[in-house]
Structure 1
């Protein structure tokens, strides 16, 4: 009987020595214990023996599969309620996809041929280069020459004297101003009131919101005309009906994803 007691005490002592008294930083007692036993914790022996539960590392799902966009796998999908995905197709041409969130997935509402900068899409945007900046952005406001169609974002009805400053040396760089209250202290700016039908409806991207001189300004999503289009100065152009729809539906959570081609989506 004493012999069996000694064996039980010895077994308990061995087990106590094997299990850490306290879990290391970043581990629970359960994962620390599993690490000692080698049962499925990353970095432990993964021999696949009886009772072993393997915990695999998270792998990023592809944004494109067989040439088809997987909107739920885009980085922007983590927080967006809607996504506008602009994919360059060569030169100043692009396809724009509009996705709306439905429970835990995103559904394609429409796809539309669109126009981007005359110099295409770039990851290194500069003022006056005629290129559209790639990346993921939100919208700061909606504006237009026409009356507010029911915008979810703050809507500015364009009036005489409205300018968007694109002079990097100006203190008003990449800002909307009106000459009735702001003295002209710039060498270059877009006269919004004179840009019909392009600015009938528009959304302002939050590109270069820090207003870094020379990094680019006045990047909008707005209307195009039915005539031949050789590209914008950097904006995204859509048929007026589509631009109006996006002005009506875009919120502070809506994201626009811009890529030079479909392989660049992430």
Structure 2
């Protein structure tokens, strides 16, 4: 009688620069304010924690247009935009990603029919330019805040994007370093939820 022994070997899993194992895919990114720093946060991805920037108004359960607050709640990642001339990792994700052209904007006027939607520049109403000189939107993910249904004045352009040096405040978005974004993108999909908690 011939016996065979089956051995199981651990498969390689992606690691960060410190050798910590990253999860295969992320369904939840948990975000909370840093103690004593309401406009800076901690983003938990599995067992790993990364620094992030939050809105200048901290975290708010009553988000309003122009208040600079990051909305409290759970927001699914819908899709994203990237600068293919600046950010090489923009296609390494399961999210639908669109290269940012010079004519891409995002409407921020509550009374406009395209409020909180992408628009083609030039556009008559006030809008954000997605192709920014400061490179904050070199990788920019759209979070499901006030998208469907859209309510006037409840906030627009709430993105997950790249942070300024020193994690200075955003206008209400969640922002991480380019290095952190490059690590997270392969693990993100349209099933990933960004959960902003207190």
Range class of TM-score, shorter chain: 0.7 to 0.9
CA contact (8 A) 1:204 1:221 kept: yes
The one of 186, 193, 215 aligned to 2:154: 215
CA contact (8 A) 2:91 2:97 kept: no
The aligned counterpart of 1:88 is: 33
Deviations 1:193-227 (A, max 9, x none): 1253211112110100122110001011111132x
Once residues 129 and 198 of structure 1 are traced to their aligned partners in structure 2, the CA distance between those partners, rounded to angstroms, is 20
**In the TM superposition, what is the alpha-carbon distance from 1:169 to its structure 2 partner?**
1.2
Once residues 65 and 114 of structure 2 are traced to their aligned partners in structure 1, the CA distance between those partners, rounded to angstroms, is 14
Give the TM-score, by structure 1 length. Answer: 0.59
Deviations 1:107-135 (A, max 9, x none): x1x21111100110000000000000010
Instruction: Indicate the structure (1 or 2) with the bigger Cα radius of gyration.
Output: 1
Structure number with the higher strand fraction is 2
The aligned counterpart of 2:7 is: none
Runs of 4+ aligned structure 1 residues displaced above 6 Å come to none
- Alpha-carbon spacing, 1:249–1:196, altered in 2? closer, same or farther (3 Å): farther
Quick check: 192-201 or 204-213, which moved more? 192-201
How many matched pairs? Answer: 167
CA contact (8 A) 1:202 1:243 kept: no
**In the TM superposition, what is the alpha-carbon distance from 1:229 to its structure 2 partner?**
4.2
Q: Secondary structure at the match of 2:131?
A: helix
Q: Does 1:152 align with 2:94?
A: yes
The aligned counterpart of 1:128 is: 66
Q: Does 1:168 align with 2:110?
A: yes
Q: Does 1:189 align with 2:153?
A: no
Q: Secondary structure at the match of 1:138?
A: strand
Once residues 107 and 185 of structure 2 are traced to their aligned partners in structure 1, the CA distance between those partners, rounded to angstroms, is 22
Give the TM-score, by structure 2 length. Answer: 0.78
Matches within 5 A, 1:225-244: 225-226=164-165, 228-244=166-182
Once residues 115 and 94 of structure 2 are traced to their aligned partners in structure 1, the CA distance between those partners, rounded to angstroms, is 26
The one of 109, 122, 141 aligned to 2:79: 141
Once residues 243 and 164 of structure 1 are traced to their aligned partners in structure 2, the CA distance between those partners, rounded to angstroms, is 21
CA contact (8 A) 1:221 1:243 kept: no
CA contact (8 A) 1:201 1:247 kept: no
Unaligned runs of 5+ in 2: 1-24
